[in-house]
Each structure stands twice: as C-alpha cells, then as structure tokens.
Amino acid sequence: MNLIDEKKYSELEHRASQLKDDATMVEFLFLMREAYSLQHVFFSVLSKTSGIFSKTYGTYPDEWRDHYIEQNLAAVDPILRHASSQTPILWEMIDSLTPEERAFMETREKHGIGPHGLTIPLISSDGHTSLLSITGKADMDPDRNWRKRANVMVREFRDIGMIMHAAYLRQNGQHPPKVELSARHVDCIRMIGHGMSIEQLAAFQGLSQRSAKQYMAEARKRLRARNNAQLIYNAIQLGFIEM
C-alpha cells in the first residue's frame, strides 16, 4: 500500500536529492504537504552538542515558531525527549507526559498544529540527527484513519527524509557518510535475508517487482556486493542489520 503512486513518489525522491539552499528546502516541504494532503510538514536539524534545534524549515505558522522561541518551549517539548531514538513518534501515543509537556501539546494544537502528528527521527551513521514531522488534517483524519496512514507514511517519509538530511549536510559543507542506505533499502535487505522472494518483498513493501529489484540492485551497488548473499554479509558487518 502506498499513499501516492510510485511515479509521483520517485519524483519527490529526485527533488529531495536536488535541494541546494533554504529556499528550495522550504519549497519542497510545501510540495510534500500538497502531495500528501497534510496539515503541515516540518524538517528540523538538531545540534550535536545541545540536542535542540539548530535549523528549522517547514509550513508551521510564524506565530507558533515565534512563540516556541520566546517561551523556550524546547525545554518542555516531548518530541525532543524522544529524539535520540530511531523509532517514529506518534504524538497521540506518547505516554508519561509531564503536566508541562501536556500543556505544550495543547498549546501546539491551539496554534493549528495537530492533534494528529508523527515525527520521524533521521539519524545518519555519522551521528547527525534531523527530525521530519508531519501532521494530518483534523477533518480528514479521524484517529483510526490517521494511524493507518501514519504506518505507511513512516516508510515513505523516512526515505525522503534521509535524502533531505544528506542534502542539508551538503549545503553546510559537511559530507554525508559515503555508505548510506535508506530505511527501505535496509528493510529490503533484511526481508531477503529472512528468505522472502522478490515477489513477497514487493507485496509486503507495496512496490512493483521492478521497483523491489531496483532497491536491491542499488543496495548491492552501495555496499559493493556481487550478489545478495554478499550484500547481507556486508550489511551485517557494517551494522545496518542484525540477523
């Protein structure tokens, strides 16, 4: 299952790889919002030293951004508390909120952000971290529908997010890791390693068989593997998967 067709998704991936400055980053996030009929899309970069935002882009209202900075809301933002994990964060499912964090989430919603939200941590192998946050339109996304959509968007947005993450590093004179696999590449390798056929892999990932084969070919090229057996071995040695 995909939320948009493969051709449109491939075009978005290509656009993400071409991002070159702040203007194109913002333009791309508005394009993502339109393509997926979302309320907001927001991309933020975390400082490696302080763990708070060092750069932000996206479609959030300026009023909210100003309020966030003026009130130092990073100190009570529960998303930042979970940011060190590579696990996607479904806002409604965050448990053990402090009273201050609960008030923060309520204030965010009053500013037109939420209630349905998803944040995907993007952590490259060199330790740089970004967050890609998306929110669904309240009138289009009842709780159950939103959670179903979010499960699919995790896969699609995580891959595009990692491309944006690498583009941001290049913009700022930092070289992304030479060997980097998207989350979908890693999922494909793991599934093949567990004995799935290309046909089964394609069906599970919501891809055509041609696209599934292309992902595997790209993964072999990036990890310099001649065949799938060597690909799985190299992926294990480099820490991309555990078997």
* Percent of the chain's residues with pLDDT above 70: 95
pLDDT in tens, 69-123: 999 999 999 999 888 776 889 998 888 899 999 999 999 999 999 889 999 988 7
Bigger pLDDT: 56 vs 170: 56
Pick the CATH number of 183-237 from 1.20.1090.10, 1.10.3720.10, 1.10.10.10, 3.40.50.2300: 1.10.10.10
Please say if the pLDDT value at position 162 is more than 90.
Answer: no
For 6-171, which CATH class?
Answer: alpha beta
E strand spans, 70-205: 89-90, 117-123, 129-135
Map out the domains of the chain as residue ranges.
6-171, 183-237
CA distances from 98 to 68, 81, 90, 103, 123 (A): 18, 11, 17, 9, 26
pLDDT in tens, 15-56: 998 999 999 999 999 999 999 999 999 999 998 777 788 899
